[in-house]
Structure 1
Amino acid sequence: MPTDLERIRALDARAVRLSAGLVRQTTVADLRRETPCAGWDLADLLAHMTAQHRGFAAAARGHGGDLALWAAAPAADPVGAHEAAAGDVLAAFAEVREEERPFVLPEFSAVRDFAAARAIGFHFLDYVVHAWDVAAALGVPFTPEADLLDAALPLALAVPPGSAAFAPELPAPPGGDTLSRILTRLGRQAAPD
């Protein structure tokens, strides 16, 4: 039976691969497309995603407190930069062996650290949602496997209202599916069925 760390790490790897596959569809002409993230075009979103991968990789290796690693910056090749960062965070998470290993995540808290399994859970939820963000910006279908969404929903519901990491919660559509519940909980407008 897999441990919580093994389970969340496997789910996270699938979410990262899903988002990376969508990012690889991005062309230079797509970089100015609007995203569901208020005020961000696709270039901004990719810079954020790349920085998040770098920050989480550093946290897994014991250097998460270095704020420079979390700073989003434009890249000459945003798709390539994202691809490299995605590979690096997966490699860094694969090196973590203890569920309680502390991750310093300054974007989440300046005063405490987080156990590895929980921190990787944050990353997992972020990449399920960011995969949807990229798909929505590109106007392509978003079809994750149901178990990814089922695993992400309790994490989304556990995000405290008013969390700085996400936009304020929106009303869920009546009878909304799991994806809609995740998206609206984290401040994204779910597409009508």
Structure 2
Amino acid sequence: MPVRQLPEQVVNRIAAGEVVERPASVVKELVENAIDAGASRIDVFTDGGGRRRIGITDDGSGMTAKDLALAVERHATSKLDDEDLLQIRTLGFRGEALPSIGSVARLSITTRHASEPHAWALTVEGGEKSGIMPAALAHGTRVEVNDLFYATPARLKFLKTDRTEAEAIREVVRRLAMARPDVAFTLAGEERAPVTWAAA
């Protein structure tokens, strides 16, 4: 068989496997984005162990329409300059999380920056991006991930039960909450009472 270059969509789905291993890794990446955006409150909602739905809402700085369009492109980041490799102070910096999630799931982002007259929304489904549309959101960012791994169904068989995946998510949120006592966290869903970690 001759050597050939893989289509970009296939490359992106393979690369996504390095970032998106299971629902808990999606939650970790999205919550770290919220922390890097200066959020003081982060609400996490999951259903089906995160397989069916993951929702993260924060009161961070939000994004402009221009930044939102770039945020779903691979290796696009607001957290790193050319000179900064030895002085990284953020949790995320590679610009991999959102495009990776969008290549294997149905991703929806609604965000509002203080400089914008209203919020903006964008969806990515299996790597296919929609146009940016005006939306309603007071401030911050809301990210929804539905049907995780629908675009790579072989990955689903490696997931544990919904309960086990939900426990892994709870542990990720708990650790992040312990590491950032200045941020209030709420974890809800999975037909359980919400768990709250109040800001100190």
Larger Rg: 2
Give 1 or 2: higher helix fraction. Answer: 1
Give 1 or 2: higher strand fraction. Answer: 2
Task: State if a TM-score over 0.5 links the two structures.
Answer: no
**TM-score of the aligned structures, taking structure 1 as reference length:** 0.27
